[in-house]
């Protein structure tokens, strides 16, 4: 059996008798923080490969600072830009959420809308979105917006932008 990493930053694992434990040691030593899943890739009805799927800790997949906790008061929003993407960052009773800043109806900046009862209200036409999931709750928005994972590190707000 050969082993193949699907992320280019990690060296291929191909010793013929390696085990998952040995692979995990090599992966951890390479700086990757978590092994999420693995799956077998059959070829010609033979089990000839093992691909490792990773999440977190890989270059380009890290949480990045977007604001200080003090910059977004409870019930307020802040427009932030991360890697060229404009996001709306909301503080809902001390819990922070990040979604795309553009309403799917006519492109209104959601960061300028109100945030009431765990709903973001579009400032132009009143469409409502769930700040945790990005799901649209009322028309005229035809669909939801993308939501992003947020974590607090000390007094900083970090967002994970894939």
Domains within the chain, CATH numbers bracketed = 2-54 (no CATH), 63-160 (2.102.10.10)
What percent of the chain has pLDDT above 90? 59
Q: Is the pTM of this model over 0.85?
A: no
pLDDT value of residue 62: 83
Tell me the per-residue pLDDT of 94-103, one tens digit each, with 9 for 90 and over.
Answer: 999 999 999 9
Distance of CA 144 to the CA centre of its chain: 16
Whether residue 89 contacts residue 81, with contact meaning beta carbons closer than 8 Å, is answered with no
As a whole number of Å, the CA-based R_g of the chain is: 21
The least confident of 57-61, 97-101, 110-114 is 57-61
Say which residue the tokens 């977007």 belong to: 66
- Cα dihedral 121→117→88→137 (10° resolution): -50
Cα dihedral angle (55, 57, 59, 65), rounded to 10 degrees? 110
Rounded CA-CA distance 59/135 in Å is 29
């Amino acid at each position: 059996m050969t082993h193949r990493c699907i992320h280019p930053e990690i060296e291929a694992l191909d010793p013929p008798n390696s085990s998952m434990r040995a692979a995990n040691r090599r992966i951890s030593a390479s700086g990757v923080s978590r092994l999420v899943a693995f799956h077998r890739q059959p070829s010609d009805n033979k089990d000839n490969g093992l691909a490792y799927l990773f999440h977190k800790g890989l270059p380009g997949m890290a949480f990045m600072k977007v604001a200080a906790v003090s910059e977004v008061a409870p019930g307020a929003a802040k427009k932030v830009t991360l890697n060229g993407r404009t996001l709306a960052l909301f503080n809902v009773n001390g819990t922070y959420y990040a979604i795309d800043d553009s309403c799917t109806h006519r492109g209104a900046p959601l960061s300028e809308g109100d945030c009431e009862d765990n709903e973001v209200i579009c400032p132009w036409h009143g469409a409502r979105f769930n700040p945790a999931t990005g799901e649209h709750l009322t028309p005229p928005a035809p669909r939801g917006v993308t939501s992003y994972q947020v974590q607090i590190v000390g007094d900083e707000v970090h967002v994970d932008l894939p």
